[in-house]
Amino acid sequence: MTMIDRRSLLAGGAALLAAQATPAATAPATLKAAAAQRGRRFGSAFAWAPPGRDAASFDNLAYAALLQRDCAVLVAENQMKWQALRPSPDRFDFAQFDAMVDWAMRHGFAMRGHTLLWAYSKWFPAWLNNQDFGQRPATAAAAILDRHIDTVAKRYGGKIHSYDVVNEAVDPDTGGLRETSLSRAMGGTANVLDHAFRTARAAAPHAELVYNDYMSWEDGNEKHRAGVLKLLEEFHRRGTPVDALGVQSHIGLFQPTTNAAAVAHRLEPEWRRFLDRVVAMGYRLVITEFDVRDRGLPAAIGPRDRGVADFARAYLDIMLSYPELGDVLAWGLSDRYSWLRGFEPRPDGAIARGCPYDMDLRPKPLRDAMIAALAVGVPTKR
Ligand code: XIL
């Protein structure tokens, strides 16, 4: 039995449950090992928090043990975003993110960088939304953007092997590109995005450059998927240096159902058509923020966990049938610290169960479904 199993037994006092959750002898014991079997890295988001805080931070011993058990690659949930790093046009604050990168390097993790530009006003720092770019707005805005990407990418160098250079530039309601203060100053969003990728390529020539977005396989994502395909085609045509599509993968069951597998089966063909078109253009794929929204499933833990696991298994089986798929990252390992609890509370008030480990950091059926999918995927092609 591994360290973390012992820890959760002691913490949760649930020997029987944990024993039942242990996968069959032939399955790899960890997410990391399962992914490695097919040449992939599994990983997760983690956080910075003040010492002693109950958070998804490396300073939380129980959570750090999970990260070390299951992950080969990490990503900062919030600490590399402009809101964290860039308090003003002239100042950077690297304290928290530096501490995370240092910890990750000391413990032998690879690191992804999220994100060099969240191209969505809602998530810009207030100063950037209100910035007066003066008489030559295009030059001034480009200088602020360049300085950001250049400074961050050069500071971390080879420590970060993959960047979500641009995040969420496509408006899901229209499929068009979102406008921001930068796009207004620089003559359109396409200019901003090209600029970001070119600057990132120059500053981090070693790194995989990713366009990351949340177009997903559920109903209602049609325009979002079409918009992302159009953007990727335009990148291709203009020679913008984009290596991969980051598929965030905050998948979910939103309508009441007790048959997650049937829902997945219905969604599969159109999702495959989308992925086929992405890889046909020469892009690789990364799963950047996987978790499962369980609003449509019953509150009872048994059927809910089963539904989440079945839905995830079907989704991951599809994703893992693409040799172009590289890293697979979860947006947190435990329900205890998941953003879903606050972002999308269930109408019945029950705690969302979209992560591989529960509120007490005990493995759930989802964890085993993820291990099984990772272990049987096609090998990744570099
Ligand atoms: C979320 C974090 O998890 C939250 O803590 C924060 O308040 C908002 O951002 N897509 C992304 C991530 O690209 O950066 C988001 O992370 C989740 C959705």
Structural domain contains residue 55: yes
pLDDT at 26: 76
Residue 21 belongs to some domain of the structure: no
Give the pLDDT score at 9: 44
Query: 3-state SS of 191-225?
Result: HHHHHHHHHHHHHCCCCEEEEEECCCCCCCCHHHH
| pLDDT in the model for residue 10 | 46
Identity of residue 170: V
Distance between CA 80 and CA 77 in Å, rounded? Answer: 8
Q: What is the pLDDT of residue 3?
A: 45
* Residue 149 falls inside a structural domain: yes
Confidence label for 27 from pLDDT (cuts 50, 70 and 90): confident
The pLDDT value recorded for residue 25 is: 55
Query: What is the distance in A from the centroid of ligand 1 to the CA of 287?
Result: 15
**Average pLDDT, integer, range 141-160:** 98
Q: Whose CA is nearest to atom 3 of ligand 1?
A: 339
State the pLDDT confidence band at 16, using cuts at 50, 70 and 90. very low
Q: Say whether 104 sits in a helix, a strand or coil.
A: helix
What's the rounded mean pLDDT across residues 284-299? Answer: 98
CA-based max dimension of the chain: 69
Looking at the CA of residue 167, tell me the nearest atom of ligand 1. Answer: 13
Question: Which tens digit of pLDDT belongs to each residue from 321-355?
Answer: 999 999 999 999 999 999 999 998 899 999 999 99
CA distance 162 to 227: 23
Asked whether residue 61 is domain-assigned, the answer is yes
Q: What is the CATH number of the domain that holds 174?
A: 3.20.20.80
Mean pLDDT, the chain, integer: 94
Domain contains 28: no
Q: Please give the pLDDT value at position 382.
A: 83
Give this prediction's pTM.
0.93
The domain total for the chain is 1
147 belongs to a structural domain: yes
Q: What is the residue range of 370's domain?
A: 37-376
Cβ of 213 less than 6 Å from ligand 1: no
Nearest to 356 by CA among 14, 69, 113: 69
Q: Which residue, judged by its Cα, is nearest atom 13 of ligand 1? A: 167
> Could you read off the pLDDT of 202-228 as tens digits, one per residue?
999 999 999 999 999 999 999 999 999
Mutate to test the pocket of ligand 1, among 97, 168, 339 (most ligand atoms within 8 A of CB): 339
The residues with which 118 forms a beta bridge, in sequence order, are 167
Calpha distance 1→372 (Å, rounded)? 19
* CA–centroid distance for 376 within its chain: 22
Q: What is the pLDDT of residues 72-88, one digit of tens each?
A: 999 999 999 999 999 99
Evaluate: CB of 83 within 6 angstroms of ligand 1.
Answer: no
User: Which of 81, 82, 116, 343 most suits a substitution to test ligand 1, by most atoms within 8 Å of the C-beta?
Assistant: 343
CA distance 374 to 318: 11
Q: Decide if 142 is inside a domain.
A: yes
- pLDDT of res. 7: 47
Alpha carbon of 77 to ligand 1 centroid (Å): 7
Report CA-CA distances (Å) from 273 to 113, 267, 381: 28, 11, 20
For the segment 253-279, the average pLDDT, to the nearest whole number, is 98
First to last CA, the chain: 34
| 3 state DSSP class of 102 | helix
- Contact predicate 308/297, CB 8 Å: yes
Phi, psi of 357 (to 5 degrees): -120, 150
Does residue 12 belong to any structural domain of this protein? no
Average pLDDT on 234-254 reads 98
Q: Give 86-135 pLDDT, tens digit per residue.
A: 999 999 999 999 999 999 999 999 999 999 999 999 999 999 999 999 99
Q: Do residues 8 and 360 make contact, with C-beta atoms less than 8 angstroms apart?
A: yes
